[in-house]
């Protein structure tokens, strides 16, 4: 019967070899020198290599990036691990989730150098400086230009337009309880029609045939006739809740690049999102974290950001790439909402919205 | 347990003392064999899951068990529970209905391309749902084949979910039931017919009883997989359909109500535990002695119109339900705006997108590396467990461990992922940002497949062979090398291959822990799909196609290696 012991020996050996292999080649450990600074973010984080390398060279820090799921997930994970955080700086909590992060004590105070150059409209928490605004983007209805010209119909412009009979059965949006553009669109309608009016608006929108799918990927790639995926899937919804920066992305990520964007933005349907970064409480390398925050609001990063993450800078005078202004004009007067108000109502609104629209 | 008993026997006569010593040695040996699997399971599954559940139910130093009642009393939650249950039942029935003829055809008929086809039908099972859910929409959704032929659209209906479940689980039935069917001696049925039984009576009284436990086991596995279905329901079901798994994800990841998530996790745990307990029972019954013959001897070319029609029918159902969605994926990967071409594949080698810090093509290398390590871990842990479980004197505790090792298949990835975060966060086990976490999570899913493949083969090794070798003076090592290894080697390779394919396709847990500089194939696909633009979408399709081909090749190699087909997968 001691054959089996041989098996044990072989297998345990295998296991040890495996573990040893991990030990030896594990380069980036969290309990590292203070020369490494770790940025925790969501999946959409992106930066040009050269820009990050320049920061590393100038500051002497090595930046390690940890992408931790979609926006909501990344925030939740950061809160769960706040006593023993995975990194030093968290980037990517937006105004819809800001209160969850602040109430849970996710961040410590630090006023980034250069924060005074941030446009006043985006500043928040100015007495405590727990978060720093980094970028902004608008959640807006996008339309398929070809579809509308083919059907000789003017694309909608505003929230009010969307409930008109001419646009019946054309819009697809996302589940407000599982998708951040879906939630943004709901908040936009609440900002526009008020605490008492938004439910009535959605009743009309539902009667006008709005379709709800679970996530942005399905809405944009499968249902929206203007996207690359949608064209292949013979999608039949020419209106989708997406971002103001989606049309430029359709140009930039095309080969060959078209002369003009295949999609446009209904500028009167926008809700403004602001994304913040902060120094994590209990950060192992708070000096490095501070330097990283300074870098995030600095001009170089702010100007590099748009084409990587498809958002707008918050810094005054930061240049916006030509593709943005050419293919996707920024909304002139987007809906906004105070994070405190969002915190107060979000859960109740989402609940009411779910029973109103999905049931 | 066994040790206590041997203490008593010690005082008796010499032969009994020897027997007692042998038994004690056996128990100690089993303990040694199980040590690694137990530690692995406890550290990387039980502890993290318990930690996250406790975090949800233990708030401010008080256990909030009244939440269980509150959550279960919620009508929305009860609706989710009911849907989870009935769609799993319906999916299982439909899968059996469509796949059982397939199992018969693969078992009894010989036809050209059978090996390739068997690999092809297994590809969906190891592909991540995020990849095929998209392609499946092209079949049953708007503008899909059904739509063009008959104007039927099934997207966001429950039919899309059920058909996708057939797509994913077809191989479970073909492999579990078909594997055994191929080894049943057809002469037994023929003998019954010679003795005057009708064809149906012979089948019902001879083949069916032998097959029933395998059908039961397959049905339970399909039920388990569909009960915990996540990606399929999320992509095809739209926001109105949610399974327990989807709801746990939503509560944990979006709403951040850990209390509700913890209660739901416990509910799913209990349900999955019950399924596995029943499953363990059927597996044991299945192992009752059946006279098995080599599969090559039972399959022959179809004869007569009826058999050819059956073969044809099965091939058509496979073509429509399984091959077509995969073909759509391939077609889209070549469908560049400028006509069919390799544009999307070429784009995979560029690293200027900023999404990954590396070129998407690097995901292939990452995936392969992770899968190799995950396979090593899964094979080490799984084969040790299988060897320990083989021993006939194994008590219920050990058999229970068999079922326990299957649990990771039925517990939501988000629970495990969040559990990893809060449980494995201190040295020496601060693995949160270590790359080893990915293969560990993948191995968790691979172990059950290794155990299920190895166990039947190990049990079939005649103990007398080992004893004979030992009596003739062979050292234990030599006995293992000359008796066990030749018999087990193939099973070991097959198990490794399957663990490898499953690791390649694993998405749920990986997406929680993969780092940006080394994404796996499924993670890269998901991230590309998460961005607008033709090139991103096309690259996602191209990467999916590559993943599919890699999985298919791995499975095809398995087909060549595989001789014994009593294993379950």
Mean pLDDT of chain B: 81
Residues in contact with A43: Cβ distance below 8 Å, sequence separation at least 6, in sequence order = A67, A69, A70, A74, B527, B530
Structure confidence by residue, pLDDT tens digits, B467-503: 888 888 887 778 778 877 777 787 888 888 888 888 8
Radius of gyration of chain A (CA): 23
Cα separation, A89 vs A275, whole angstroms: 13
Q: Considering only A27-41, B242-256, B403-417, which range has the smallest mean pLDDT?
A: A27-41
Q: For chain B, what percent of residues have pLDDT higher than 70?
A: 86
Residues forming beta bridges with residue B63, ordered by sequence position:
B58
Q: Test A1 with B381 for CB contact under 8 angstroms.
A: no
Asked if B533 and A228 come within 8 Å (Cβ–Cβ), the reply is yes
What is the spatial distance between Cα B183 and Cα B297, in angstroms, rounded to a whole number?
Answer: 8
Burial of residue B279 (number of CB atoms within 10 Å: 0-12, 13-18, 19+): buried
**Structure confidence at residue B316 (pLDDT):** 94
Q: Judge: B532–A6 Cβ closer than 8 Å, yes or no.
A: no
A232·B347 Cβ contact <8 A? no
Instruction: Please name the member of B354, B436, B531 whose beta carbon is closest to the beta carbon of A22.
Output: B436
Residue B466 distance to chain A (closest CA, Å): 8
Closest-CA residue of B relative to A49 is: B357
Kindly tell me if the per-residue pLDDT of B421 is higher than 80: yes
Average pLDDT, integer, range B389-407: 73
**CA A332 vs CA A96, A97, A156, A329: distances in Å:** 21, 24, 16, 8
What are the chain A neighbours of B19 within 8 Å (beta carbons)? Answer: none
Check whether B352 has a pLDDT greater than 70: no
- Block residue for tokens 């692995």: B40
Q: What are phi and psi of A322, to 5 degrees?
A: -60, -40
**For residue B278, pLDDT beyond 90:** no
pLDDT (tens digit per residue) in B11-51: 444 555 656 666 666 677 777 778 899 999 999 999 999 99
Looking at per-residue pLDDT, the higher value among B123 and B240 belongs to B123
Of B55, B432, B535, the CB nearest to A255: B535
B132-166 confidence digits (pLDDT tens)? 776 776 677 766 667 777 877 777 688 888 989 99
Q: Both tokens of residue B323?
A: 């091959």
Q: Are A90 and A277 in contact (CB under 8 A)?
A: yes
The pLDDT tens digits along chain A (359 residues) read 334 344 344 444 444 334 433 433 333 444 445 799 999 998 888 888 899 999 999 999 999 988 877 788 889 989 998 998 989 999 999 998 898 999 999 999 999 999 999 999 899 888 899 999 999 999 999 999 999 999 999 999 999 999 999 999 999 999 998 888 999 999 999 999 999 999 999 999 999 999 998 888 889 988 899 988 888 777 889 999 999 999 998 888 887 788 889 999 999 999 999 999 999 999 999 999 999 999 999 999 999 999 888 899 999 999 999 888 888 777 778 999 988 899 889 889 998 998 899 87
**A171-174/A211-213 β-pairing:** parallel
| Chain A residues in contact with B537 (beta carbon < 8 A) | 221, 227-229, 232
Q: And the tokens for A20?
A: 């040893």
- Contact state of B29 with A65 under an 8 Å Cβ cutoff: no
A237: left (phi over 0), alpha (psi -120 to 50) or beta: beta
Q: Do B515 and A213 touch (CB under 8 A)?
A: no
Interface test with B, best of A99, A228, A240 (most B CBs within 10 A): A228
Cα–Cα distance between B276 and B281 in angstroms, integer?
A: 8
DSSP code per residue over B41-66: HIIIIIHHHHHHHHHHHEETTEE-TH
Q: Specify the pLDDT at position A159.
A: 96
- Is pLDDT of B453 > 70? yes
Q: Do A4 and B234 touch (CB under 8 A)?
A: no
Beta strands in chain A (DSSP E): 36-41, 62-67, 89-94, 107-108, 132-144, 171-174, 211-213, 239-243, 263-265, 271-280, 312-313
Beta bridge partners of B184: B292
Contacts of B340 (CB under 8 A, 6+ apart): B334
Who among B380, B421, B480 is closest to A80 (CB)?
Answer: B421
Q: With cut-offs at 50, 70 and 90, classify the pLDDT of residue B356.
A: low
Distance from CA of B407 to the nearest CA of A (A): 22
CA A92 to the chain's CA centroid:
7
Cα–Cα distance between A222 and A209 in angstroms, integer?
17
Rounded to two decimals, the ipTM of the complex is 0.76
Distance between alpha carbon B519 and the CA centroid of its chain, in Å? 22
Is the CB of B435 less than 8 angstroms away from the CB of A44? Answer: no
The H or E element that residue B340 is part of is: strand B339-340
Share above pLDDT 90 across residues of chain B, in percent, rounded to a whole number: 19
pLDDT at position A22 is 40
A11, A31, A216: residue with CB nearest B380: A11
Interatomic CA distance for residues A56 and B86, integer angstroms: 56
Task: Find, among A320, A280, A282, A275, the residue nearest to A296 by Cα.
Answer: A275
Q: What is the DSSP string of A66-77?
A: EE-SSHHHHHHH
Mutation target for A interface from B24, B531, B532: give the one with most A CBs within 10 A.
B532
Closest listed residue to residue A14, CA positions, set B378, B485, B386: B378
What's the start-to-end Cα distance of chain A, in Å?
Answer: 62
């Amino acid at each position: 019967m001691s054959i089996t012991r041989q098996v044990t020996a072989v297998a345990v050996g295998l296991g040890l070899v495996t573990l040893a292999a991990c030990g030896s080649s594990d380069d980036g450990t969290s309990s590292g020198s203070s020369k490494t600074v770790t940025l925790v973010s969501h999946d959409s984080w992106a930066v040009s290599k050269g820009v990050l390398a320049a920061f590393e060279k100038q500051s002497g820090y090595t930046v390690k990036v940890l992408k931790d799921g979609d926006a909501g997930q990344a925030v939740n994970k950061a809160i769960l691990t706040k006593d023993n955080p995975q990194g030093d700086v968290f980037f990517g909590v937006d105004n819809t989730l800001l209160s969850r992060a602040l109430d849970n004590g996710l961040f410590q105070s630090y006023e980034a150098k250069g924060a005074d150059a941030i446009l006043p409209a985006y500043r928040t928490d100015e007495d405590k400086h727990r978060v720093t605004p980094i970028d902004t983007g608008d959640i807006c209805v996008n339309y398929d230009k070809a579809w509308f010209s083919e059907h000789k119909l003017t694309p909608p412009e505003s929230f009010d337009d969307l409930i008109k009979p001419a646009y019946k059965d054309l819009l697809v949006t996302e589940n407000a309880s599982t998708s951040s553009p879906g939630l943004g669109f709901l908040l936009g309608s609440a900002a526009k029609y008020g605490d008492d009016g938004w439910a009535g608006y959605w009743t009309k929108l539902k009667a006008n045939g709005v379709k709800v799918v679970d996530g942005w990927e399905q809405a944009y790639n499968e249902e929206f006739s203007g996207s690359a995926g949608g064209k292949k899937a013979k999608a039949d919804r020419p209106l989708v809740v997406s971002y103001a920066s989606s049309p430029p992305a359709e140009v930039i990520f095309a080969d060959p690049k078209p002369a003009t964007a295949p999609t446009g933005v209904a500028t009167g349907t926008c809700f403004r999102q602001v994304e913040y970064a902060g120094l994590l409480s209990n950060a192992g390398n708070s000096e490095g974290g501070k330097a990283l925050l300074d870098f995030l609001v600095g001009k170089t990063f702010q100007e590099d950001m748009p084409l990587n993450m498809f958002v707008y800078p918050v810094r005054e005078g930061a240049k916006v790439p030509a593709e943005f202004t050419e293919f996707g004009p920024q909304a002139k007067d987007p809906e906004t909402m105070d994070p405190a108000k969002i915190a107060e109502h979000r859960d109740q609104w989402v609940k009411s919205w779910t029973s109103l629209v999905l049931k | 347990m066994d040790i206590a008993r041997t203490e008593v026997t010690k005082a008796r006569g010499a032969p009994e003392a020897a027997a007692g010593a042998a038994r004690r040695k056996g128990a100690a040996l089993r303990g040694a064999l199980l040590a690694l699997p137990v530690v692995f399971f406890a550290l990387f599954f039980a502890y993290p899951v318990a930690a996250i559940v406790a975090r949800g139910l233990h708030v401010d130093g008080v256990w909030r068990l009244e939440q269980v009642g509150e959550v279960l009393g919620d009508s929305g939650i009860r609706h989710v529970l009911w849907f989870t249950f009935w769609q799993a039942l319906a999916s299982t029935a439909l899968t059996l209905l469509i796949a059982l003829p397939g199992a018969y055809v693969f078992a009894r008929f010989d036809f050209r391309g059978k090996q390739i086809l068997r690999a092809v039908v297994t590809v969906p099972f190891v592909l991540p749902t995020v990849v095929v859910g998209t392609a499946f929409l092209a079949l049953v959704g708007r503008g899909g084949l059904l739509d063009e032929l008959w104007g039927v659209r099934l997207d966001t209906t429950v039919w899309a979910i059920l058909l996708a479940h057939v797509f994913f689980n077809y191989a479970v039935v073909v492999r579990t039931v078909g594997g055994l069917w191929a080894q049943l001696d057809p002469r037994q049925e023929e003998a019954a017919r010679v003795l005057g039984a009708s064809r149906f009576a012979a089948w019902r009284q001879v083949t069916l009883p032998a097959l029933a436990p395998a059908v039961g086991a397959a049905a339970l596995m399909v039920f388990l997989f569909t009960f915990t279905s996540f990606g399929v329901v999320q992509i095809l079901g739209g926001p109105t359909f949610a399974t327990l798994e989807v709801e746990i994800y939503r509560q944990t990841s979006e709403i951040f109500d850990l209390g509700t998530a913890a209660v739901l996790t416990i509910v799913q745990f209990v349900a999955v535990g019950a399924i596995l307990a029943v499953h363990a029972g059927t597996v044991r019954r299945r192992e009752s002695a059946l006279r098995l013959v080599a599969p090559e001897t039972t399959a022959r070319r179809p004869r007569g119109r009826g058999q050819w029609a059956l073969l044809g029918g099965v091939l058509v159902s496979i073509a429509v339900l399984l091959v077509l969605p995969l073909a759509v994926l391939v077609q889209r990967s070549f469908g560049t705006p400028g006509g069919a071409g390799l544009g999307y594949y070429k784009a995979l080698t560029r690293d200027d997108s900023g999404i990954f810090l590396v070129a998407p093509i690097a995901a292939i290398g990452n995936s392969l590396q992770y899968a190799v390590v995950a396979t090593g871990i899964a094979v080490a842990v799984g084969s040790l467990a299988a060897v320990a479980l083989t021993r006939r004197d194994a008590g219920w505790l050990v058999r229970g461990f068999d079922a326990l090792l299957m649990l990771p298949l039925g517990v939501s990835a988000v629970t495990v992922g969040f559990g990893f975060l809060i449980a494995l966060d201190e040295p020496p086990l601060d693995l949160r940002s270590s790359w080893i976490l990915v293969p560990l999570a993948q191995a968790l899913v691979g172990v059950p497949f290794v155990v299920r493949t190895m166990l039947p083969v190990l049990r079939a090794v005649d103990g007398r062979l080992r004893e004979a070798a030992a009596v003739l003076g062979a050292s234990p090592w030599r006995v293992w090398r000359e008796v066990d290894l030749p018999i087990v080697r193939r099973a070991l390779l097959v198990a490794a291959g399957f663990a490898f394919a499953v690791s390649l396709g694993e998405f749920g847990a990986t997406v929680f822990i993969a780092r940006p500089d080394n994404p796996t194939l499924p993670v890269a696909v998901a991230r590309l799909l998460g961005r607008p633009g033709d090139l991103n979408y096309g690259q996602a399709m191209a990467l999916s196609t590559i993943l599919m081909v890699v999985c298919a090749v791995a499975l095809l190699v398995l087909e060549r290696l595989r001789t014994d087909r009593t294993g379950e997968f």
